[in-house]
Structure 1
Amino acid sequence: MEIKAKIGIRIKELREIKNLSQKDLSYSSDLDRSYIASVENGKRNISIVNIEKIAKALDVTLKDFFNNGKFDNNSASS
């Protein structure tokens, strides 16, 4: 699985755990809703700055964001 897809899946997973809509997340992260949607769908490259904004909006640290089996070295393909 591509890293863009892994990050998108993780954002969606955390967003749903917090019971937030894409609109809610876009408002709290100061990013456009369509940008959030395209990142969640693995269609956009996302900067670490925007990952940090999203993590803060989801009330998780970057460590917790990436502390997930999806990001293990053995499972990374790109």
Structure 2
Amino acid sequence: MDVRETIGWNLRRLRVAKGLSQERLALESEIDRSYVGRVERGKENVTVSTLAAFARVLEVDVSALFSPIDPNAQKPNALQSGRKRKRS
């Protein structure tokens, strides 16, 4: 796994653990939502400033985005998509 994939994996893992959607993470870190998706897929070379913005919103140290990935670990689950249902 290369460093971009490692950052993407950790970003998704930490985001889902906090219960944040990509859209909410993007809004709070002042970054485009589609860019967040590309980072999570390991398709972007992320700047230090962007990593710092993600870490601030996720309330972790930047180093958490570089944590080694267990080769046997399952991909982090996605949050349930769509709006919450209204109660009748």
TM tier relative to shorter chain: 0.7 to 0.9
Counting aligned pairs with the same residue, the percent is 35
What is the root-mean-square deviation of aligned Cα atoms in Å?
1.1
**Deviation for aligned residue 1:61:** 1.6
Q: Deviations over 1:9-65 (max 9, x none)?
A: 000000000000000000110000000000000011101110000000111122444
Are 1:8 and 2:14 matched, yes or no? no
Equivalent pairs counted in the alignment come to: 69
Change in CA separation of 1:69 and 1:53 when aligned onto 2, cut-off 3 Å: same
- Name the structure 1 match of 2:24: 24
Q: Which runs of 4+ in 1 moved over 6 A?
A: none
CA distance in 2, matches of 1:32, 1:46: 13
Which amino acid in 2 is paired with 1:32?
A: D
Change in CA separation of 1:39 and 1:65 when aligned onto 2, cut-off 3 Å: closer
Please list every run of 5 or more consecutive structure 1 residues that lacks an aligned counterpart in the other structure. 71-78
- Name the structure 1 match of 2:86: none
Q: Secondary structure at the match of 1:38?
A: helix
TM alignment of 1:1-78, pairs within 5 A: 1-66=1-66, 68-70=67-69
TM score, norm. by length of structure 1 = 0.82
CA distance in 2, matches of 1:32, 1:41: 15
State the structure with more CA Rg.
2
